[in-house]
Amino acid sequence: MKSKSILEMLQVQLGERSYPIYIGEKLLQRSDLWCNWVEKKQVLICTNTTVAPLYASALTQTLKDAGAQQVNQVDLPDGESFKDWPTLQRILDALLQTQCDRRTIVVALGGGVIGDMAGFAASAFMRGIDFIQVPTTLLSQVDSSVGGKTGINHPLGKNMIGAFYQPKAVFADISTLNTLPDRELSCGLAEIIKHGAIADRDYLEWVEQNMALFFQRDQAALTQVVRRSCEIKAKVVSLDEKESNIRAILNFGHTFGHAIEAAMGYGEWLHGEAVGCGMVIATRLCQKIGRLSDADCALIHKIIVDAKLPVLPPPIGLNRFMNLMRVDKKNQEGVIRYVLLNGIGQASTSPVDEDLVRQVLIESGVPSHLE
């Protein structure tokens, strides 16, 4: 058993589907934690070609030390552009080729793309086998690894094909953030800013004050921010697991952001970059309809800039932007529903007059003359 490190734990409360989130340093080496999940089981590590050389070998040894019966691995190409059917097929191929069964557990080692695809494959293989999230990016640690959303992209819409399928556990190893490029760190900060904007003003202000520490990879600051964001998301998920109501507020900025991702081609803009820009547009919309003060709008804009996220949209024509937003899971009967802030820390969903949205998009830098 490896030496123990500082560990925090919180619980996603979903009745019989409840599960723990472990947060701390060097969790990939904690065989004492892993034995509860993998002892006497066959394991398939699903990772990508960027993460595998960094962490797959160490995790494989830990799983063996924890009593795993057999550990296999499938390495996928890295990037949002590979979050598709052919890449999903490679996970299913690996499960079949290594003769996995219903007791097999899939371990998703990587960022949000790996977590989404590995979880979706686990939900479909033999009609559902267990999986564990091991997020290695800030974005996946604070957001995508928690809540059970799994799936792939379609050329016409992001995350439109998938399933709600909860992991058995989440291991958020803060140490993996030491190798994370600044651009990826900024993407995680987008989701952190979102959590503060929709649920906790004090948290958002704390994030603003500690921004420099995140880029310095300060382990204590990162542990604190991962824990608080997970607390916020876990609470919302426990109230609305399948996004029939309140959970939709977790998509603040995403309606605009997903349109940017789809228009540019998945991977050209990273998810967090698109969400950051989407939140700028969304706050301007909230300001325009009188729900958000000028000061609060300016605060959110400043924090997004401080996080080194883009605030100007790419050159997508206005009509195309609107059409892409119509392919969104929150929409009902063809009506686009936006996540709106009623002041920082309070969010709800509502339709907005289309002419007003078009005006805000133009004011945000979306060109009206392009198709």
Q: How far is CA 285 from CA 236, 252, 291, 301, 357, in A?
A: 24, 12, 9, 13, 7
Q: Is 268 a catalytic residue?
A: no
Catalytic residue among 271, 284, 291, 337: 271
Q: Is 333 a catalytic residue?
A: no
Catalytic residue among 184, 191, 231, 261: 191
Return d(Cα 45, Cα 58) in angstroms, integer: 12
Q: Is 369 a catalytic residue?
A: no
- SS3 for the chain is CCCCCCEEEEEECCHHHCEEEEEECCHHHCHHHHHHHHCCCEEEEEEECCCHHHHHHHHHHHHHHCCCCEEEEEEECCCHHHCCHHHHHHHHHHHHHCCCCCCCEEEEEECHHHHHHHHHHHHHHHHCCEEEEEECCHHHHHHHCCCCEEEEEECCEEEEEEEECCCCEEEEEHHHHHHCCHHHHHHHHHHHHHHHHHHCHHHHHHHHHCHHHHHCCCHHHHHHHHHHHHHHHHHHHHHCCCCCCHHHHHHCCHHHHHHHHHHHCECCECHHHHHHHHHHHHHHHHHHCCCCCHHHHHHHHHHHHHCCCCCCCCCCCHHHHHHHHCCCCCCECCECEEEEECCCCCEEEEECCHHHHHHHHHHCCCCCCCC
Q: Is 195 a catalytic residue?
A: no
Catalytic residue among 254, 284, 330, 337: 254
**Residues contacting residue 119 through CB under 8 Å, at least 6 positions apart:** 106, 108, 131, 133, 148, 150, 163, 165, 167
Catalytic residue among 26, 30, 227, 233: 233
Catalytic residue among 41, 194, 195, 247: 247
Catalytic residue among 184, 231, 243, 261: 243
Backbone angles phi, psi at 10, to 5 degrees: -135, 165
Q: Is 149 a catalytic residue?
A: yes
Q: Is 243 a catalytic residue?
A: yes
Determine the residue type at 222.
L
Q: Is 247 a catalytic residue?
A: yes
Q: Is 258 a catalytic residue?
A: yes
Determine the residue type at 188.
G
Catalytic residue among 26, 83, 149, 330: 149
Q: Is 271 a catalytic residue?
A: yes
Q: Is 191 a catalytic residue?
A: yes
Catalytic residues: 127, 149, 191, 233, 243, 247, 251, 254, 258, 271
